[in-house]
Amino acid sequence: MILITGGAGYIGAHVALELLARNEDVLILDNLCNSQRSAIERISTLAGQRPGFIQGDVRNRRLLDTLLRDYPIDAVVHCAGLKAVGESVHEPLRYYDNNVGGSLTLCQAMAQAGVFTLVFSSSATVYGDCCTMPINESCATGQPTNPYGMSKLMAENIMQSVASSDPRWSIGLLRYFNPIGAHPSGLLGEAPLNMPNNLLPFLLQVASGQREYLSVFGNDYPTADGTGVRDYIHIVDLAQGHLCALDALRERSGVNIWNLGTGRGYSVLELVKSFEQVSGVPIALQFKARRPGDVTCCWADPQKAADELGWRASRSLQDMLTDAWRWQCSQLETEWIREAN
């Protein structure tokens, strides 16, 4: 059985769905601080079977000990965490407590229970302002410019240390680039509870009339059109990468780092233009100053994951945007039906 912390969230829910599709037993632990119970219903509908679900906190050691004792868990995918970069600057202690404290407690409980296989949701943010593109796993980690990024790097360091101390550990640090999109059914996607920070969720709210315009943060970067370039990856490709990592970890020990990206970067304006093409909806833009802490470019070298995991992202930017727009439209429809009743 696989325990997924944060499995009601955007990434964890897609990982749960892929694991269920492969007939794995799944137990989700989530405190629902940034997700809703309805995600579990949606996973169940799509998978045709229910994952186990426990509402609780990954920092709760007693709860973890009980779960690891009472369920036949042999691996953990650790997605639980807070992820809003701007918020982390204002509430650093909450971010360190959750992201570092949660990872520490999880590792302690796993070690005690004798469960040593762990896949961790890390981030390309740990590379900091890396100036060689594409970024491969041997690039040095940088100095993240915000507490969120720092908390990911600290959690990675804890995992590196525990793995060095005991050869039974087998850990995959998955450094995600920019996950976007939704399940092609339109039933599962990202549902930000507050004002979205990320480009695509914000753009979708503009497209659906919930916001007036999209702010483009900086058009004076040294890129082809002056806007920032990122490696956007379809959420289903990303989720499948976790299954490949779990499989590979059965044959490996120590810490393994894998970038999960496509290897191709798109600028903000390229992404907006592609979205307009796939949706037929024009997006109003306002150009603003650069967002503090943003890097100019960030895209992956995905070769190590291809060689060691046999995994490559296969879905195009158009797929990502089509699926995201389908999800946004289905969300709005659900809201209209709820309001009409």
Please give the positions annotated as active site.
Answer: 148
CA distances from 46 to 5, 14, 49, 235 (A): 20, 10, 8, 16
Q: Are 202 and 286 in contact (CB under 8 A)?
A: no
By C-beta, is 109 or 229 nearer to ligand UFG?
A: 229
Site for ligand UFG in 139-158 (CB under 6 A): none
**21-29, 118-126, 186-194, 313-321 -> range binding ligand UFG (CB under 6 A):** 118-126
Which residues form the interface with ligand NAD (CB under 6 A)?
A: 5-6, 8-12, 29-35, 57-59, 79-83, 98, 102, 121, 123, 176, 178-179
- Contact partner at residue 147 from ligand UFG, ligand NAD, none, CB < 5 to 8 Å by partner kind: none
- Contact partner at residue 268 from ligand UFG, ligand NAD, none, CB < 5 to 8 Å by partner kind: ligand UFG
- In the complex, the smallest distance separating the C-beta of residue 128 from ligand NAD, rounded to whole angstroms, is 14
Q: Alpha-carbon distance 52 to 46, whole Å?
A: 15
Report if residue 181 touches ligand UFG, rule: CB under 6 A.
no
Please count the helices (runs of H) and the strands (runs of E) in the chain: 12, 14
DSSP state of 131: -
Q: Nearest to residue 81, comparing CAs of 139, 27, 153?
A: 153
- In the complex, the smallest distance separating the C-beta of residue 165 from ligand UFG, rounded to whole angstroms, is 28
By C-beta, is 244 or 297 nearer to ligand UFG?
A: 297
**111-119, 214-222, 233-241, 317-325 -> range binding ligand UFG (CB under 6 A):** 214-222
By C-beta, is 197 or 253 nearer to ligand NAD?
A: 197
- Contact partner at residue 216 from ligand UFG, ligand NAD, none, CB < 5 to 8 Å by partner kind: ligand UFG
Number of residues that bind ligand UFG (CB under 6 A): 21
Q: Nearest to residue 251, comparing CAs of 335, 175, 162, 172?
A: 172
By C-beta, is 116 or 202 nearer to ligand UFG?
A: 202
Q: In sequence order, what are the residues at sequence separation of 6 or more whose Cβ sits closer than 8 angstroms to the Cβ of residue 2?
A: 19, 24, 25, 26, 27, 73, 74, 75, 76, 77, 246
By C-beta, is 200 or 222 nearer to ligand NAD?
A: 200
First to last CA, the chain: 40
By C-beta, is 75 or 119 nearer to ligand UFG?
A: 119
Q: Alpha-carbon distance 105 to 181, whole Å?
A: 31
Q: Alpha-carbon distance 4 to 40, whole Å?
A: 12
Q: Nearest to residue 210, comparing CAs of 198, 195, 190?
A: 195
- In the complex, the smallest distance separating the C-beta of residue 296 from ligand UFG, rounded to whole angstroms, is 8
Q: Alpha-carbon distance 20 to 67, whole Å?
A: 19
- Contact partner at residue 199 from ligand UFG, ligand NAD, none, CB < 5 to 8 Å by partner kind: ligand UFG
β-strand partners of 78: 5, 120
Report if residue 298 touches ligand UFG, rule: CB under 6 A.
yes
Calculate Rg over the CA atoms of the chain.
19
Q: Alpha-carbon distance 96 to 89, whole Å?
A: 11
- Contact partner at residue 202 from ligand UFG, ligand NAD, none, CB < 5 to 8 Å by partner kind: ligand UFG
Residues near ligand UFG (CB under 6 A) are 83, 85, 123-125, 177-178, 197-199, 202, 214-217, 228, 230, 268, 291, 294, 298
